Structure 1
Amino acid sequence: MQKRWRQVLRLGMSGLIAVSLLAGQGMAAAQSVNTIHFTGYFDKQLRAQLADTADSFPVVNVRLVKQDEPDMVYYDVGTSILISKDEVLTNYHVVQEFAEMPDGDEGTLTVASPGHLDRPIKAKIIKTDPVTDMALLKLEKEMDAEPVTFTTARDNQIVYTIGFPKNPAGDLVLLDEEFPSTYNTIAKSRVYSNQASDVPGKKGIGSIVKAMAQGNSGGPVLDQNNRVIGMMTFVYGGKTYYITSKTLQSFIKDTKSPAKKQIAVAGKVTS
């Protein structure tokens, strides 16, 4: 008798109210403005620019079947930031269950453009930092999109965010064998603090004044030149918080650096 699968969408948490998002990335050409939902005022030229920019933010999709729940399929859906042709950054909480998958569980990790959901690319986790909520993924093949550039934020500057795992009709997006059509959402906001210090235990974060809907994790915060000032991670106290570009770049740099040779010290255990 064929099993009937129950689909469950899990929106990742990172100790606070985390946000998991969808954004887009074009495989052969820039996305059409008609496939993107804009919130706020955007003139035609800005719409076209942001449609091109959105190609560098592919969807992350985690599909997980647990050994003790074989009749259920769990999903984590988020966004990522293309830092090279075959590498993306996302939030750790988006891929956490996959990264910590026990023996016996089955899972898949892919990235795809909302404009080309029928062309998912398999990915593997290269490095994670659960404390700062970052994960670096390596793709099986290159993407036809331009990697991003980073810059530093300024207080009160206008910024843009990309994403949401809901289309304008409000339907949740589940990326499975049948890939649905969907929309990116691009929203306008403003930096509240480029060095936020109002969240206990959190460093290397900034905040924007508008709290985003549930579903933005791993998505970019962009300046008016479409450069990345940070990556969204959680909502707290009515504001959306992002990991600063400085923190993101340090994480990438540390990943690229050769591992240091371990030194044995008397009285200490090295692993």
Structure 2
Amino acid sequence: MIASLGFLALLASVVLPRPAHADPADISAAARGVVRVVIIGTDGRDVFPVSHGSGFAISPTRIVTNAHVVREAQQDDTMRIGIVPSDGDGAAFARIIAISPRNDLALVEIVGTTLRLPPLTISGADDQDGAEVSAVGYPMNVDRAQGLSLNDIFESQPAVKSRGFLSGARPSRQFDTILHTAPIARGNSGGPLLDSCGRVLGVNSFGADSDGSDAEFYFAVSNRELVPFLKANGINPPVNALPCRSLADIDEVERDRIEREQLSARQGMAQRADETREKRSRAEAEAEEAVTSERENRMAAAFLLMLVAFGAGAAAWQAHGAAGKERLVAIGGGIAAVAAVAALALWFTRPGLDEIDRRVAEAMQEDAANGGDDGNGSDGFGAGASTGPLVCTLDVDRSRITGTPDTQLQFDWAEDGCVNKRTQYGFSGGKWSRVFVPNSEAAVSVNIYDPATRTFRTDRYLLNRSAMNEARSARSGYSPPQCGTANAAGKLGDLQGGVLAALPSSPNERLIYSCAPENGHLTQ
């Protein structure tokens, strides 16, 4: 499935977030893709750093920075560009792919190494004056304060993060910039300016000059310049136009939603109970009237038949012994006997009062069979045993989206937790889940499916190198059981505990999907 950015942008208008404060976990997650860009010179024998700036990954091997950061390497082919990631012990060389001095942007590509960086997501939302922002990069004044020399910058160091606020968008030097107050210094050039969810708002470029001292206002090249620059060079960057919301906001919305659903369910149950009582009352009245009428009719018929029996018997008795009356005696006696038996049959087969209860029960069962309340209090969530192919649609209002996820998912769910007939889900703590720890991406995903509500959830944890290694170590300690093996779900539920214990308390991204049967193929 292909993510629909237009779909996300369209739904952004219906999400009304409150002002968000920067989440340190999101800023740290974005900082994994921020690098030090070092210009390296040589005297023919030794290599040495000449200057450095910052940059950030827009793909695993391509990095955005400022044009002025790599200008020396462009003008002098004896100089090289070095890339030092913020995490780990790897470093790499890079070559210039494109450079645009007009708006101070450059694109470089890592060469000759397997170093792969976690890309950052571009914010497609409109800039909001006063919104909190973070600048991430490698300011030289911090290096000096730590006593680091130029040679030390070849070692991986965490990127420096600083907070401030948006102060407005304005054109400068013939290109579109963002004015902000997140402190930057020499060395920050080319690093990202991030929103509260860790998405790129712009590329930090320069500060307002204030008599040679560090300025209080700073400028970043806006995404209105960055996105066209990337597209012109064959890169379709990941763009997220949704407002930034915290997990606390999402949880509050979810609690409100659950309370509304529970209130609606209680009101529905009360309404169905009232309707059931009304139906039962009508059924009782109808049954009582019918049974009473039938009972009285049979008793009256029995009484009339007894009168006929007595009359016929009396006529036969009078004719008994009289000459020529034998036929009359036989007819009268037969009529009397038949009438008496019929009267007794009607009397003993008249409906009793318990017939009212039986007929009420039958009427209620017939109503349930015709679509009425079945008496089990069904509220629409009786799909616990549902199996078959599902189409799941991203619920933007219930999700915290920091990247560009797929808006639809498809999978085939089996009652034993086997997905697509090949991937076993674990069952633990009343939840079906599967933990994915890839080797090619610095992120752990926990997929959770609730068959009762047909809700699919993905929690994504964007981890640094050490945390990712810990998660991979825990994951390497077990092999998931195959679908169809004995107690596969329970075993996997226990095995995944080690990975889950290594994860932070909250994910960076939570995606909620509402699922429905595909083409009506769901079975129960």
| TM-score, structure 2 normalization | 0.36
Query: Higher helix share goes to which structure?
Result: 2
Q: CA deviation at 1:244?
A: 0.3
**Which SS does the other structure have where 1:189 is aligned?**
strand
**Which SS does the other structure have where 2:70 is aligned?**
helix
Give, as a single letter, the amino acid of the residue that structure 2 aligns with 1:54: A
- Matching residue of 2:147: 171
| Shift in CA distance, 181/149, structure 1 to aligned 2, threshold 3 Å | closer
Deviation track 1:5-27 (CA, whole Å, cap 9, x = no partner) reads: xxxxxxxxxxxxxxxxxxxxxxx
- Matching residue of 1:81: 56
Q: CA deviation at 1:189?
A: 0.5
**Which SS does the other structure have where 1:182 is aligned?**
coil
Tell me how far apart the structure 2 counterparts of residues 133 and 100 of structure 1 sit (CA, whole Å).
Answer: 15
Query: Does the aligned pair in 2 maintain the 1:167–1:183 contact within 8 Å?
Result: no
**Which SS does the other structure have where 1:53 is aligned?**
helix
- Matching residue of 2:207: 235
Q: Structure 1 residue 251 and structure 2 residue 222: aligned?
A: no
| Shift in CA distance, 180/91, structure 1 to aligned 2, threshold 3 Å | same
Q: CA deviation at 1:99?
A: 0.4
Tell me how far apart the structure 1 counterparts of residues 46 and 115 of structure 2 sit (CA, whole Å).
Answer: 34
Alignment of 1:1-271 (within 5 A): 46-65=23-42, 73-101=48-76, 106-116=78-88, 118-140=89-111, 141=113, 143-151=115-123, 152=125, 153-163=127-137, 164-165=139-140, 166-167=142-143, 169-175=145-151, 179-180=154-155, 182-193=157-168, 195-197=169-171, 199=172, 201-237=173-209, 238=215, 239-256=217-234
Q: Which has the larger radius of gyration?
A: 2
Query: Does the aligned pair in 2 maintain the 1:162–1:220 contact within 8 Å?
Result: yes
| Shift in CA distance, 231/157, structure 1 to aligned 2, threshold 3 Å | same
**Which SS does the other structure have where 1:78 is aligned?**
strand
Tell me how far apart the structure 2 counterparts of residues 182 and 58 of structure 1 sit (CA, whole Å).
Answer: 9
Deviation track 1:90-115 (CA, whole Å, cap 9, x = no partner) reads: 0111111110116xxx2221212133
Any gaps of 5 or more consecutive residues in structure 2?
1-20, 210-214, 236-524
**Which SS does the other structure have where 2:190 is aligned?**
coil
Q: With CA pairs under 8 Å and 6+ residues apart, which has the higher RCO, 1 or 2?
A: 1
Tell me how far apart the structure 2 counterparts of residues 115 and 174 of structure 1 sit (CA, whole Å).
Answer: 18
Q: Percent of counterpart pairs with the same letter?
A: 24
**Which SS does the other structure have where 1:156 is aligned?**
coil
Q: CA deviation at 1:74?
A: 5.0
| Shift in CA distance, 72/142, structure 1 to aligned 2, threshold 3 Å | closer
Query: Does the aligned pair in 2 maintain the 1:98–1:107 contact within 8 Å?
Result: yes
Deviation track 1:177-222 (CA, whole Å, cap 9, x = no partner) reads: x8446342111110111x214x4x3321111024422221001100
Tell me how far apart the structure 2 counterparts of residues 179 and 48 of structure 1 sit (CA, whole Å).
Answer: 26
- Matching residue of 2:504: none
Give, as a single letter, the amino acid of the residue that structure 1 aligns with 2:39: V
Query: Does the aligned pair in 1 maintain the 2:84–2:154 contact within 8 Å?
Result: no
Count how many residue pairs are aligned between Structure 1 and Structure 2. Answer: 204
Query: Does the aligned pair in 2 maintain the 1:173–1:182 contact within 8 Å?
Result: no
Tell me how far apart the structure 2 counterparts of residues 171 and 63 of structure 1 sit (CA, whole Å).
Answer: 20
| Shift in CA distance, 255/172, structure 1 to aligned 2, threshold 3 Å | same
Query: Does the aligned pair in 2 maintain the 1:85–1:142 contact within 8 Å?
Result: no
Of the structure 1 ranges 161-170 and 212-221, higher mean CA displacement relative to structure 2 is found in 161-170
Query: Does the aligned pair in 1 maintain the 2:90–2:115 contact within 8 Å?
Result: no
| Shift in CA distance, 93/211, structure 1 to aligned 2, threshold 3 Å | same
Give, as a single letter, the amino acid of the residue that structure 2 aligns with 1:135: A
- Matching residue of 1:22: none
| Shift in CA distance, 241/119, structure 1 to aligned 2, threshold 3 Å | same
Query: Does the aligned pair in 2 maintain the 1:167–1:182 contact within 8 Å?
Result: no
TM-align CA RMSD = 2.8
| TM-score, structure 1 normalization | 0.67
Q: CA deviation at 1:80?
A: 0.8
Deviation track 1:121-150 (CA, whole Å, cap 9, x = no partner) reads: 121101101121111101124544321111
| Shift in CA distance, 122/172, structure 1 to aligned 2, threshold 3 Å | same
Tell me how far apart the structure 2 counterparts of residues 100 and 146 of structure 1 sit (CA, whole Å).
Answer: 30
Give, as a single letter, the amino acid of the residue that structure 1 aligns with 2:205: T
| Shift in CA distance, 73/167, structure 1 to aligned 2, threshold 3 Å | closer
**Which SS does the other structure have where 1:99 is aligned?**
helix
Tell me how far apart the structure 1 counterparts of residues 118 and 182 of structure 2 sit (CA, whole Å).
Answer: 28
| Shift in CA distance, 168/225, structure 1 to aligned 2, threshold 3 Å | farther
